[in-house]
Amino acid sequence: MTIQEAQEKIDNWINTTGVRYFSELTNMAILTEEVGEVARIMARKYGDQSSKETDNKMLLADELADVMWVLLCIANQTGIDMTVALEKNFEKKNIRDAQRHHNNPKLKS
């Protein structure tokens, strides 16, 4: 599925099954919550924090998909084509960071 197809599928789902979009501010709060769930998994699986039994039921792939879902909801609500936005972001990074990371001694093996 392309990013554009994902935006369209989400828009269709929201306008049928979901009734309507939550407000942009509500979706921003939900996005923050979902990113927090990703952080929880990362801290426990890849970091030093101990897991609780309930943490083991959380799946990183599912939580990342939740983040993407809400992010695409916000893009839809604000009229942003994320394919175009991501392509422009690549252009920006290719110009700004063309040599930046190659010259970073912290990233050398």
Q: Percent of the chain beyond pLDDT 90?
A: 78
Q: Model's pTM, two decimal places? A: 0.88
CATH class as words, domain 3-83: mainly alpha
Q: What is the pLDDT of residues 39-72, one digit of tens each?
A: 999 999 999 999 888 877 889 999 999 999 999 9
Is residue 103's pLDDT more than 90? no
Task: Provide the pLDDT for residue 24.
Answer: 98
Given the structure tokens 């990371």, which residue do they identify? 101
Least confident of 22-31, 38-47, 64-73, 93-102: 93-102
User: What are 89-95's contacts with CB under 8 Å, separation 24+?
Assistant: none
What does the domain layout of the chain look like in residue ranges? 3-83
